[in-house]
Amino acid sequence: MERKPNRTAAALLLVLLLLCGLFAGCQPAAEPAGPDAEGLYLCEKSFFAMDTYISYRVWGTSEEEAKDYGVLLEETFTRIAGMTDRFDPDSELSKVNAAGSEGLAVSAELLEMAELAIDWKVRTNGAFQVLLGSLSDLWNIGGEDPKVPEKTAIAAELQKLSEARLTLRGSVLSVEPEGVILDLGAVAKGYAADAAAKALRQAGCKRALIDAGGTVITIGTKTGGQLWTIGLQDPKEPQKLAGIIESADKALVTSGDYQRYFEQDGTRYHHIFDPETGYPANRLHAVTVLAESAALGDILSTALFVMGPEEGYQLACQLSSEGLAEVLFTLPDYSQKITPGWPGKR
């Protein structure tokens, strides 16, 4: 199956986010070219990967160092994007899918994503299900001319899912039975953001902000030790902001029904599926997760979205008490529900 990247929507989103001041506190036009009060130079760019415009701001102790950090960030992101692109027959993920039950020895990074997927499938009671690639293909959300599939085709996918297994033996990853497709779309972007942040920190970068469309990760603080101010997109009117949070050294990840969808007979069908029904999950409009790891935030935003305002909220409160994540749910009436440690919104 061929997939056309949704560049127009991604470009629009980027423009809207910039207009809405996602990078509040960093005004591109007013930013001085030279060093700031802490002697740091800014490199600011955007690039296209994983169907999204990814914009970033990295600071270094010289202009050259800042640029080098930018190159490192883009290389890291692009490498993980390439590895997890299931529409590229040469990607590592496609090779795993092609190997099926025979299994394939995978890289440390793919192994880590698979381990996370296996663990969080259990902890989310099956809501996080990375083996729904063929269900996703059947719906073809974001592709050309998507339509609600026949009920019998969805039932066949559910039957396939009931037998689907993702297994790790050492570093050998296998997908069974025949026809089941591993899709890491709900974790790869967060994982790539973490990998980029880790590479930057290891290289000595002290301050950065990466916005990968619904996944924002920061390193350090703004000049003078101030927290980053991050705008939250309004799920009802995505060109507006629903709130603002302040954070440092954290990832903020959102899954929402407005990010990728089509409409048929007045109903919106989006890209996050309930593995129990085979239809897009319909209990929430959005879930935003604040966590140390963007990969975890990515997994949780998808899984809690599927689990909904009761079961999902229960798990979110447990995660909050464990210090793993704070969560904001946007309910069917667009009101919000937050976990006890959510940093507050204005």
Instruction: Choose the contact partner of 325 out of ligand AMP, Mg ion, none; CB within 5 to 8 A by kind.
Output: none
Smallest separation, CB 89 to ligand AMP (Å): 18
Smallest separation, CB 256 to ligand AMP (Å): 8
Please report how the helices 108-123 and 63-83 are oriented relative to each other, as an axis angle in degrees rounded to 10.
70
DSSP 101-163: GG-EE--HHHHHHHHHHHHHHHHTTT-S-TTBHHHHHHHTTTSSS--PPPHHHHHHHHHHHHH
Q: Cα(35)–Cα(49) distance, rounded to whole angstroms?
A: 29
Q: Are 305 and 297 in contact (CB under 8 A)?
A: no
10 backbone φψ class: left, alpha, beta (φ>0; ψ -120 to 50): alpha
Indicate the residue among 43 and 132 with the shorter CB distance to Mg ion. 132
Instruction: Choose the contact partner of 315 out of ligand AMP, Mg ion, none; CB within 5 to 8 A by kind.
Output: none
Indicate the residue among 40 and 294 with the shorter CB distance to Mg ion. 294
Where does this chain bind ligand AMP (CB under 6 A)?
127-130, 132, 136, 183, 185-186, 255, 271-273, 275, 298, 301-302, 306
Smallest separation, CB 144 to Mg ion (Å): 24
Smallest separation, CB 300 to ligand AMP (Å): 10
Instruction: Choose the contact partner of 128 out of Mg ion, ligand AMP, none; CB within 5 to 8 A by kind.
Output: ligand AMP
Instruction: Choose the contact partner of 129 out of ligand AMP, Mg ion, none; CB within 5 to 8 A by kind.
Output: ligand AMP
Smallest separation, CB 129 to Mg ion (Å): 12
Q: Report which DSSP code applies to 220.
A: S
Instruction: Choose the contact partner of 114 out of Mg ion, ligand AMP, none; CB within 5 to 8 A by kind.
Output: none
**Measured at CB, which residue is nearest to ligand AMP?**
185
Q: Give me the residues paired with residue 246 across strands.
A: 229
Smallest separation, CB 126 to ligand AMP (Å): 9
Please report the sign of the dihedral spanned by the C-alpha atoms of residue 82, residue 232, residue 342, residue 57: positive
Q: Report which DSSP code applies to 35.
A: -
With H, G, I as helix, E, B as strand and everything else as coil, classify residue 167.
strand
Where does this chain bind Mg ion (CB under 5 A)?
186, 298, 301-302
**What is the H or E stretch that residue 180 is in?**
none
Smallest separation, CB 52 to Mg ion (Å): 12
Instruction: Choose the contact partner of 271 out of Mg ion, ligand AMP, none; CB within 5 to 8 A by kind.
Output: ligand AMP
Nearest to 216 by CA among 180, 247, 182: 247
Smallest separation, CB 281 to Mg ion (Å): 12
Instruction: Choose the contact partner of 270 out of ligand AMP, Mg ion, none; CB within 5 to 8 A by kind.
Output: none
Backbone angles phi, psi at 220, to 5 degrees: 65, -155
Indicate the residue among 200 and 272 with the shorter CB distance to ligand AMP. 272
**Measured at CB, which residue is nearest to Mg ion?**
302
Indicate the residue among 43 and 49 with the shorter CB distance to ligand AMP. 49
Q: Cα(288)–Cα(311) distance, rounded to whole angstroms?
A: 16
Indicate the residue among 186 and 192 with the shorter CB distance to Mg ion. 186
Q: Cα(316)–Cα(113) distance, rounded to whole angstroms?
A: 21
The token pair at 17 is 């986010």
The token pair at 26 is 């960093």
Indicate the residue among 40 and 182 with the shorter CB distance to ligand AMP. 182
Indicate the residue among 191 and 262 with the shorter CB distance to Mg ion. 191
Instruction: Choose the contact partner of 136 out of Mg ion, ligand AMP, none; CB within 5 to 8 A by kind.
Output: ligand AMP
